[in-house]
Amino acid sequence: MSELSKKLMTEGHKGVHEQFDCVYAAALAYISLKYGGDSLGTALRTHHKKIIKNGIKQSMRKIGFKPGFLSSGLGFYAYEFWEVIVNDRLGSNITAERLTEFTDNMLGQMGEYLDEQFRNEGRADSIGFLKTLL
């Protein structure tokens, strides 16, 4: 469980935090891959499945979340949604600062959403939250 999920979310259920951390890691991987070099390299990195999966796993480890088979799959799925959301909301030529600000804002909203959803329904659906942003 990441420090950010502990900070943002009141629910102590492990699954709620795992849902959050998968999307958090996907967003961090997207930022890292998008701003890691030249434009051709960025295009290759942000669209190559194996590179994306490795980036997500690295981000998971960085935030203190141990990646497993299911969490890696969810992270990749979240990454694909995140890429569409960012391009739809901010366009393709965005600055790292603007993307980071947007990411922080959306993660805060997602933490509140997952907390409330778990309290009301007994489940947490991070992909469902991402779908609401489309």
For the chain, which residues make up each domain, given as ranges? 14-132
| Residues ≥6 apart with Cβ < 8 Å to 61 | 67
The overall average pLDDT reported for the chain is 87
Binning pLDDT at 50, 70 and 90, where does residue 37 land? Answer: low
Other CB atoms within 10 A of residue 16 CB:
23
Backbone angles phi, psi at 44, to 5 degrees: -65, -45
Binning pLDDT at 50, 70 and 90, where does residue 39 land? Answer: low
Q: Given a cut of 80, is residue 69 above it in pLDDT?
A: no
> How far from 30 is each of 27, 43, 64, 117, 123, CA to CA, in Å?
5, 12, 18, 26, 26
- Identify the pLDDT of residue 94: 85
Q: Given a cut of 90, is residue 72 above it in pLDDT?
A: no
Determine the distance from the C-alpha atom of residue 75 to the mean position of all C-alpha atoms in its chain, rounded to a whole number. Answer: 7
Q: Given a cut of 90, is residue 93 above it in pLDDT?
A: no
Q: What is the pTM of this model?
A: 0.87
Measured distance CA(4)–CA(108) in Å, rounded: 9
- Identify the pLDDT of residue 49: 83
> How far from 20 is each of 24, 43, 46, 112, CA to CA, in Å?
6, 26, 21, 10
> How far from 95 is each of 59, 87, 99, CA to CA, in Å?
20, 12, 6
Other CB atoms within 10 A of residue 20 CB:
28
Q: Is residue 129 classed as helix, strand or coil in its secondary structure? A: helix
- Identify the pLDDT of residue 5: 85
Token duo for residue 86: 């960012």
78 versus 42: which is more confidently predicted?
Answer: 78
Across the range 38-55, mean pLDDT stands at 74
Binning pLDDT at 50, 70 and 90, where does residue 79 land? Answer: very high
Across the range 34-43, mean pLDDT stands at 68
Q: Given a cut of 80, is residue 43 above it in pLDDT?
A: no
